[in-house]
């Protein structure tokens, strides 16, 4: 994970928080949990009163926080998994988002 890059971008930290929050609230076992933009943006909007662009999830993927999830679900959604949930939670606490 490229922590130095996300340290400079408060919005990206907040998007990661929304990803983690949605992931954390999923009733499935951790290894089966997935996220996508349409689910996460609702969590983000409920806390920050604005939306973010889907490209922010791709940025988190490039930085190593998310990994694209291969799924049998149909449609045009991109699904992701959180790479290291415990590490993400630690970072979010450090940024006062948890």
For residue 74, what pLDDT is reported? 60
Written in H, E and C, the secondary structure of 38-87 is: HHHHHHHHHHHCCCCCCHHHHHHHHCCCEEECCCCCCCCCCEEEECCHHH
Return the CATH number of 3-94, one of 1.10.3720.10, 2.60.120.10, 3.40.640.10, 1.10.10.10. Answer: 1.10.10.10
Residue 66 β-bridge partners: 82
For residue 70, what pLDDT is reported? 74
For residue 77, what pLDDT is reported? 79
Question: 53 — phi, psi (to 5°)?
Answer: -80, 140
Q: Could you report the per-residue pLDDT of 5-35, keeping only the tens digit for each?
A: 999 999 999 999 999 999 999 999 998 999 9
Answer with the residue of higher pLDDT: 41 or 76: 41
Residues 6+ apart with CB under 8 A from 21: 43
Give domain limits for the chain: 3-94
Q: How confident is the model at residue 50 (pLDDT cuts 50, 70, 90)?
A: very high
């Amino acid at each position: 994970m490229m922590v130095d890059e996300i340290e400079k971008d408060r919005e990206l930290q907040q998007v990661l928080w929304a990803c983690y929050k949605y992931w954390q609230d999923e009733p499935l076992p951790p290894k089966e949990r997935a996220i996508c933009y349409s689910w996460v943006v609702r969590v983000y909007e409920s806390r920050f009163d604005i939306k973010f662009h889907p490209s922010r999830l791709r940025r988190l993927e490039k930085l190593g926080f998310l990994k694209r999830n291969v799924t049998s679900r149909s449609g045009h959604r991109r699904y992701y998994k959180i790479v290291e949930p415990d590490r993400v939670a630690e970072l979010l606490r450090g940024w006062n988002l948890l």
